[in-house]
Amino acid sequence: SMFPGLIHRVSLQKPHRCQNSIHAMAKMVLSLTPDRKNIWIIVLSVILSSSMVKSKYLAEPDVLWSYQLPGSGSLAGPGLRKGNAIVAMEKYLFATTDEGSLHIISLFDNEKIHIKGPVLQGTFAECHSGVSISKDNNGDMNYLVYAVQFTPNLSGKDNTFYFIERMSRVIAVHIDGTIRWTKDLVGKISGTPVISENFIYISISNKHDGGQIVILRDEGRDEWPTVAAKISSGDKSNKKTFGPLTLQTSLDGHDFIFWGESDYETSLNGDFFAYALYRSEKFASNQGIGPDSYTMKTITKWDRSLITQPLIARDLSLVFMGGSGSSVSGWVNGLNTSSDSMGIAEFDWLNVMQKPEVNPSRPMISDMTLSRDNKFLFLTDNSFYMYCLETMTGKIVWSSDGNRESGYVVQPKLSEIPEESPMVYTIETLRGNVRQHNANNGYINWEFNCYNLSREKLCGHSVEGEFRCVSPFLILY
């Protein structure tokens, strides 16, 4: 290739002898330069560890290895856009790209599988989904699910476009790269489908129905899935779209699905609702088929459009949402799942972060992160800032503007190890710089720039795909 791309592996921790297999993992980064587009997987290690119990952060990360995905290296090639993600699970690394391809990398035998994006005549495919993983009864990986959408590209004789409804496709893939099944749906899927046992939940919106949650039941290997139910707000006049889904399993083992409404045309005006969905008492007798197998509740109403995932504490005690106008709101009185209203009304606090100079009504576009003790919330705004907030009050503990050369699209990732200060990681969107902040005070410990990996400037701008921080040895992918 004239413009070879690379996947780089970088360590945040010096490998212990028993950790060599873990350090075979990788981090994927989209690299854009003015004349070409390369996708790298870069693996960073950030911890020096002498045992499984005692660890110490490195002063700066180590690059472990790197690899360029096939097809990248030109502006026409694939890239990682907002919604695409890297997922590391056991001995595999998974990544979706913007044209609908799926990449599977075995981290132990270096086998690589490239599943090309689907094609639908008269449309162009695009993917804004990551990967969800289904596990069997033994906890082993069973199959993967992701989503692709098709936008019509047909035009008339006068070069005007016919505005035809978008189509989306949910794709289930076995670990060996073979297709398990596909399911086409009318509308645009938001975010990544989520999996609860053998049911797949999809947030989708179309012109006729507005927002819907479509639930598929997986019927086993090589069988077409069943449409178990389609759930909507019940208000036929409400055409607002549904945002991406959050799956949270409560401490007693029950799965809850959360999402909010969004509307780009009225990003600051009107009422927007947030919802929760869970299994009803009829779920078992109905085998999950039919709308009455599920209970959908409105958990709150506010005047902000939501395009990110709601953040829910594991014990369902806290709810956080980022909305239009760079706003963040918190509900701290918990979800009463035995109540028809689920115990949530108006937010307990609202904080408006730094607004960008251009389009100040723009909604928050990066997901938030919660500390293990539920006391602190980490987020990035639409400008140049990263924040730490108190979860109970929304007050700013610290903020950091980095070098004010690039904003953020990806979610901050938090690392908490015994007897060490917690660390939070982020990546600048326009430059691809990875930074480690002290989570207690926001101090920047180090900045990793992938310009340093090659004589060529292979890391230019527009790093949008979600990265991963994998414990216990803190490898960044």
Low-confidence ranges of the chain (pLDDT < 50): 1-9, 14-36, 50-53, 159-163, 266-268, 455-457
C-alpha span between 345 and 342 (Å, rounded): 9
Q: Token pair of 216, please?
A: 């598929």
CB 51 within 8 A of CB 100: no
Q: What is the pLDDT of residue 30?
A: 30
State how far the Cα of 121 lies from the Cα of 151, in Å rounded to an integer.
10
| pTM for the full predicted model | 0.86
- Residue 338 is predicted with a pLDDT of 59
Cα 25 from Cα 93, distance rounded (Å): 7
pLDDT of residue 405: 66
- Given this model, what pLDDT does residue 249 score? 86
For residue 371, the 8-state DSSP code is: -
- Sequence-separated (6 or more) residues with CB below 8 Å from residue 338: none
d(CA 347, CA 394): 11
* pLDDT at residue number 393: 95
Cα 84 to Cα 178: distance, rounded to the nearest angstrom: 21
Beta strands per DSSP E along 332-382 = 349-352, 369-370, 376-380
**pLDDT confidence of residue 52:** 44
Q: How far apart are CA 177 and CA 112, in angstroms?
A: 10
Helix (H, G, I), strand (E, B) or coil at 348: coil
Each residue's pLDDT tens digit, 204-219:
998 887 899 999 999 9
- Three-state SS letters, 277-313: EEECCCHHHHCCCCHHHEEEEEEEEECCCCCCCCEEC
pLDDT digits (tens, 9 = 90+) for 277-327: 999 999 999 999 999 999 998 888 877 788 889 999 988 889 999 887 788
